[in-house]
Structure 1
Amino acid sequence: MFSKACEYAIKAAIYIAQQSQQQRTVNVKDVSLSIDAPVAFTAKILQVLCRGGILQSVRGKQGGFFFDTEKQARHRIFDVVRLIDGDGLFTKCGLGLHHCSGENPCPVHDDFKVVREKLFEMTQKHTFKDLAAQTENGLAWLRN
């Protein structure tokens, strides 16, 4: 359901949050290897996450990307989805009709409305602090 860029952005944010909890900054290459994404694509995604105020970066030899722990507890998957893909996934018609609504529904309107609501709920539920803790504790992973 998410674009490939959004999938990579979510995984990158989780990985960087996990590393930041260990007081480590990470470079683009480390992130791309950890989430199995191309380096150049990862670099662009990380720039967007920094410009969006989710991640921070430090220049220099000891620099890299980090995710402030207070921001980890505040930011949710929804914030990354909205930044990368926009909020259309939560508002638009499942068939792409421009004027789909409860009064003028498409054939899958009622079913897709439930999917949109569940997806919205899931993306609001998890903070990056929680997701990073799951990966750190071996309860979840970012690569196959």
Structure 2
Amino acid sequence: MDMPMSFYWSNQAIILFDGWSVQDATGMAFSVIGIICAGALFEGVKRLVGWVGKGKGMLVNRDTGDTSDPEERTPLLKSPPDVALTRKRKHMSHNAVLCRSRLRYHLAQSLLHVLQVVLAYCLMLVVMTYNGWLAIAVFLGAGLGYFVFFADMEIKA
């Protein structure tokens, strides 16, 4: 099969792999709907990656980032060594939990990023079929997804 080098308008196409072969208008219509959904899903995953990143950034140390012990700053009110050691252990265990939470967020964000990249390349390959209907479906899906998933963005004039 010759690869077209300009957009064509046909109801026949092979999309991404041999098993997804469209031969009639009904098959093309269902494929267009599926590709619109995939384009919208891409925008949703993109938004989700950013949302997970914000969640990771909101993990803050309970003592507002100040890692020093308040009793170390006021030597007159110093606790016995065993109380100070217990507080340091609590602080260290809290930091370990904070680190594990950040790692989970980062892992989730990384996996979502991989999904985003896979979707992006698949959509690019759909456009590279040069079928006009399929290309329009990718563009409509991306626009629809942006409209739905980025609707709460503030517009500043």
Same fold (TM over 0.5): no
Greater helix fraction, Structure 1 or Structure 2 = 2
Whichever of the two has the greater Rg, that structure is: 2
TM-score by length of 1: 0.29
Relative contact order (alpha carbons < 8 A, sep ≥ 6): 1 or 2 greater?
Answer: 2
TM-score by length of 2: 0.27
